[in-house]
């Protein structure tokens, strides 16, 4: 995947913020050659499940921050995205990443397998 320096800088910034929020870094190969940037495990009634955050390059913006977390036969994060524009300032990016992290936690916590574990 050929990407710009802007993209990689933003991707590293997002990854750093997610790691500070409790996510784990992906390996260097994934970071440098795929859209993946961080993972987060959630304990469920059926075992550990992993959310993966991606920064997908876009023609209209630097990237789209999104993720996958498969539960109940689908990814529950399909609508959990943040558009990272070329003019986004650092504070707005940090707020977007924080919001993304909170939405992922809420979506994962609301899955049947996690709710069943809490019962």
Confidence of residue 51 (pLDDT cuts 50, 70, 90): very high
SS3 86: coil
Task: Tell me the CB-side half-sphere exposure of residue 80, using CA atoms within 13 A.
Answer: 23
Per-residue pLDDT at 17 exceeds 60: yes
Contact at 8 Å (CB) between 76 and 111? yes
Confidence of residue 69 (pLDDT cuts 50, 70, 90): very high
C-alpha angle with apex 107: 114 to 37, nearest 5 degrees?
105
Per-residue pLDDT at 40 exceeds 90: yes
Per-residue pLDDT at 2 exceeds 90: no
Report the predicted TM-score, pTM, of the whole model to 2 decimal places. 0.91
Collect all residues with Cβ–Cβ distance below 8 Å to 60 and sequence separation of at least 6. Answer: 83
Question: DSSP string covering 40-60, please?
Answer: EEEEETTEEEEEEEEEEE-SS
Phi-psi region of 42 (alpha: psi -120 to 50; beta: other; left: phi over 0): beta
Collect all residues with Cβ–Cβ distance below 8 Å to 95 and sequence separation of at least 6. Answer: none
Cα dist from 68 to 5, 81, 89, 119, whole Å: 25, 10, 26, 25
Confidence of residue 27 (pLDDT cuts 50, 70, 90): very high
């Amino acid at each position: 995947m050929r990407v710009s320096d802007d993209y990689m800088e933003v991707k590293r910034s997002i990854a750093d913020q997610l790691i500070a929020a409790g996510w784990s870094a992906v390996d260097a190969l994934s970071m440098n050659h795929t859209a993946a940037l961080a993972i987060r495990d959630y304990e469920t009634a059926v075992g550990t499940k992993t959310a993966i955050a991606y920064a997908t390059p876009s023609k209209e913006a630097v990237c789209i921050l999104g993720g996958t977390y498969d539960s109940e036969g689908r990814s529950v994060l399909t609508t959990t995205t943040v558009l990272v524009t070329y003019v986004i300032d650092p504070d707005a990016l940090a707020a977007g990443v924080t919001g993304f992290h909170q939405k992922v936690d809420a979506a994962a916590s609301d899955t049947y397998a996690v709710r069943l574990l809490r019962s």
